[in-house]
Chain A
Amino acid sequence: MAELTALTIAEARDGLKKKSFSAAELADAHLAAMEKARALNAYVQETPERAHAMAKASDARIATGKAGALEGIPLAIKDMFCTEGVRTTASSRILENFVPTYESTVSAQLWRDGAVLLGKTNNDEFAMGSSNETSYFGPVTSPWRRKGANTKLVPGGSSGGSAAAVAANLALGATGTDTGGSIRQPAAFTGTVGIKPTYGRCSRWGIVAFASSLDQAGPFAKTTRDAAILLRSMAGHDPKDTTSVDRAVPDYEAAVGKSVKGMKIGIPKEYRVDGMPPEIEKMWEQGASWLKAAGAEIVEVSLPHTKYALPAYYIVNPAEASSNLARYDGVRYGLRVPGRDVIEMYEKTRAEGFGPEVRRRVMIGTYVLSAGYYDAYYLRAQKVRTLIKKDFEDCFKAGVHAMLTPATPSAAFGIGEKGKADPVEMYLNDVFTVTVNMAGLPGIVVPAGLDGQGLPLGLQLIGRPFDEEAIFSLGEIIEKAAGRFSAPKWW
């Protein structure tokens, strides 16, 4: 039944409705594929029993005409989302045995609409990373390989397991979280579609907190349409998250295929960075001409504070992370390493429970928030953030509907190739995506082509606040022109 795993969500939805196959068959096909793909390490936990039970319930609802919008659709959930009764680790040793007694709002809404849980996917520890190499459970191997080589490549991060699972047909869709690019960069590396919606569009309740003013949940899918279908279920107001917005959720799928005639698309000149590979520059131009051919108007715009987004992010992000991760104290949940007294217990627990990247970020955050340094670092970064957001607002006020940019400065790299000597080398991966989190805007990445080595490259569309619909419409134009890309199966 290998062909069932190759379906899109829209196709599976039709097949289930027509009873061409059952939700149980669809789940089984995916569980079998997951078992054969364990070498990728995309899942940190498979939940076959849960999948069987949920699929069975879906089949019963389909039989009685009570199917929800995602009835019987098997999904993977990033291990940052708390799932009731299913271990949730954030891919950290400190949460190795944590079993939530509650369900995150976003995943609860997926189950409300009939989706089926296949398992929990691997990610960088506490979502801190751009390659999925900081996971306590080891790196994820991308289903993609360079032409004629078998070097193991990263799927990107932090949502590397979700991206790899969708790219390798181990789930019809998956959830991710995006703090600085953690959905969009892995989507670009794996030839999948990923969207980070506007800050406040999805509830953060029940998602392991990393940097609260930047974190948003969003979907991974094989197509723009599928991403739109998933986001509609995931989004919505939640009284349990005061930053979630009380605003109706549009039918995003209706935006897919809509004309983009007359839309003004900004090409931010500051994104033309030094050393950008010519292939990425060419693809960017190609993307602009596809949108132009579809009737959009292409204009050059300026976002003058772009170069300061990444340094400001590396203050705001560790600062918020250090505060959020203060809760891991070995007292209420998670790992405890005994010490002579309570302080030593805290210190040993956190030293052994957190990996190197998490320890580093917590320490940087502690430093920039500490007495005497707060104004110089944190306060200044928050002022720069205001300027970054204003750059976008000025363009939108001038009539720009969305921006088109590259998703990443390069295609996927090899496991172990980056960030060994200098952590900043890894951070630079997010140069095109962090601005969007800093400004709270929606951003989608769609596959736009393959590079000379046969690896996928993505383009990013950045929208006005709460105008996910525009970037779904635009994303589909690029998808239609570029075609879909799938990794040749080797695992």
Chain B
Amino acid sequence: MSVDADTVRRIAHLARIAVADGEVEHLRGEINAILAFVEQLSEVNVDGIEPMTSVTPMAMKKRPDVVTDGANADAVLKNAPAAEDHFFAVPKVVE
């Protein structure tokens, strides 16, 4: 499989990465080189094979559903690019 310029733009938008028109062709070439490389997997017979979900066999650990952390809004916001009154500030989302 290979991607065309429109697909590159669509992927970039899905990934929320701005791509300038001048970069599309170059990216298309690189993505297609990687897709061509992974194409060899189609040779492998995977009939009846379970997809791996956990590399070490282990049962998912559970813990009581109780509050274990919190009340540290200052620490949470410490690295925020913009914050007001213990809230993250973002550009207007709804008109």
**Hey, which bits of chain A sit against chain B, CB under 8 A?**
97-99, 101-102, 198-200, 213, 239, 242-243, 245-246, 305, 307-308, 310-312, 314-315, 322, 326, 329-336, 338-348, 350-351, 354, 359-360, 362-367, 370, 373, 376-377, 379-387, 389, 422-424, 427, 438-440, 465
A365 to B33, CA, bound (A): 14
Q: Is the CB of A343 within 8 A of B16?
A: yes
Question: Mind listing 12 A-B residue pairs with CB under 8 Å?
Answer: A101-B72, A245-B58, A311-B38, A332-B88, A333-B80, A334-B81, A342-B92, A343-B16, A347-B17, A360-B30, A360-B34, A422-B33
- B3 interface hit (Cβ, 8 Å): yes
Cβ of A101 and Cβ of B75 under 8 Å apart?
Answer: yes
> Across the interface, do A363 and B15 meet the contact criterion of CB distance under 8 Å?
yes
**CB proximity of A241 to chain B, nearest CB, Å:** 10
Does the CB pair B11–A245 fall under 8 Å? no
B66 at interface by CB-CB < 8 Å: no
Interface of B is mostly: loop
**Nearest chain-B residue to A440 (Cβ)?**
B55
In the bound complex, do residue B34 and residue A389 qualify as a contact, i.e. CB atoms below 8 Å apart? no
Give A424 to B33 CA distance when docked, in angstroms: 7
Contact-residue bracket for chain B: 35 or more
Which A residues are CB-close (under 8 A) to B78? 99, 101
13 further contact pairs, Cβ within 8 A, besides A239-B61, A422-B33: A99-B79, A310-B37, A314-B37, A331-B80, A334-B81, A343-B16, A354-B17, A365-B15, A366-B11, A380-B41, A384-B41, A422-B30, A440-B56
Q: Chain B residues near A340 (CB, 8 Å)?
A: 91
Contact between chains at A386 and B49 (CB < 8 Å)? yes
Contact B15 A322 (CB under 8 A): yes
CA–CA, A330 and B53, complex, Å: 31
A326 to B51, CA, bound (A): 24
A367 touches B40 (CB 8 A): no
Contact (Cβ within 8 A) B81 A367: no
A-B contact count (CB 8 A): 168
A314 proximity list for chain B (CB < 8 A): 34, 37-38
Complex alpha-carbon distance, A245 and B57, angstroms: 10
Determine how close the nearest CB of chain A comes to the CB of B37; give it in whole angstroms. 5
Within 8 A of A (CB), among B8-47: 8, 11-19, 27, 30-31, 33-35, 37-42, 44, 46
Asked if B71 is at the interface (CB within 8 A of a chain A CB), the reply is no
Report Cα–Cα, A436/B52, bound state, in Å. Answer: 15
List chain B residues, Cβ under 8 A from A344: 18
Beta-carbon contact of B34 and A334 below 8 Å: no
Q: Is the CB of B51 within 8 A of A382?
A: yes
CB distance from A10 to the nearest CB of B (A): 30
Chain A residues with CB under 8 A of B81: 330-331, 333-336
Which residues of B does A touch, CB under 8 Å? 1, 3, 7-8, 11-19, 27, 30-31, 33-35, 37-42, 44, 46, 49-56, 58, 60-61, 63, 72, 75-76, 78-82, 88, 90-93
How far is B78's CA from A333's CA once the two chains are assembled, in angstroms? Answer: 8
Are B44 and A387 within 8 A (Cβ)?
A: yes
**Within the assembled complex, what's the spacing in Å between the Cα atoms of A347 and B14?**
10
A35–B76 Cα gap in the complex (Å)?
A: 34
B64 to chain A, nearest CB (A): 12
Enumerate chain B residues within 8 angstroms of A336, measured Cβ to Cβ: 81-82
A99 CA to B52 CA, complexed, in Å: 35
In the complex, chain B residues whose CB is within 8 Å of the CB of A243: 54, 56, 58
From A305, A351, A380, A384, contact of B17 by CB (8 A): A351
Contact of A423 among B11, B13, B33, B58 (CB under 8 A): B33
Do A350 and B80 contact each other (CB < 8 Å), given the known contacts A199-B56, A382-B52, A423-B30? no
On chain B, the residues within 8 Å of A329 by CB distance are: 16
Contact indicator B61/A242 (Cβ below 8 Å) = yes
Residue of A334, A346, A440 touching B16 (CB-CB under 8 A): A346
Name which residue of chain A comes closest to B10, CB basis. Answer: A370
Given contacts A243-B56, A360-B30, A384-B44, whether A333 and B79 have CB atoms under 8 Å apart is: yes
- Bound Cα distance from A382 to B40, whole angstroms: 14
Q: Which residues of A contact B60 (CB under 8 A)?
A: 242
Given the complex of chains A and B, what is the CA–CA distance between A380 and B40 in angstroms? 11
Cβ contact within 8 Å between A359 and B38: no
* Residues of chain A contacted by B75 (CB below 8 angstroms): 101-102
Closest 10 CB pairs of A and B: A440-B55, A333-B79, A382-B51, A336-B81, A351-B18, A347-B18, A383-B46, A101-B75, A366-B15, A346-B16
Q: Which residue of B lies closest to A367 (CB)?
A: B11
Q: Which residues of B contact A354 (CB under 8 A)?
A: 17
The reply to whether A384 and B80 contact each other, CB–CB distance below 8 Å, is no
Residue of A nearest to B39 (CB): A311
Knowing A351-B18, A367-B3, A465-B56, the reply to whether A311 touches B40 (Cβ < 8 A) is: yes
Cα distance A338–B18 in the bound complex, in angstroms: 13
| Least Cβ–Cβ distance between B26 and chain A, in angstroms | 9
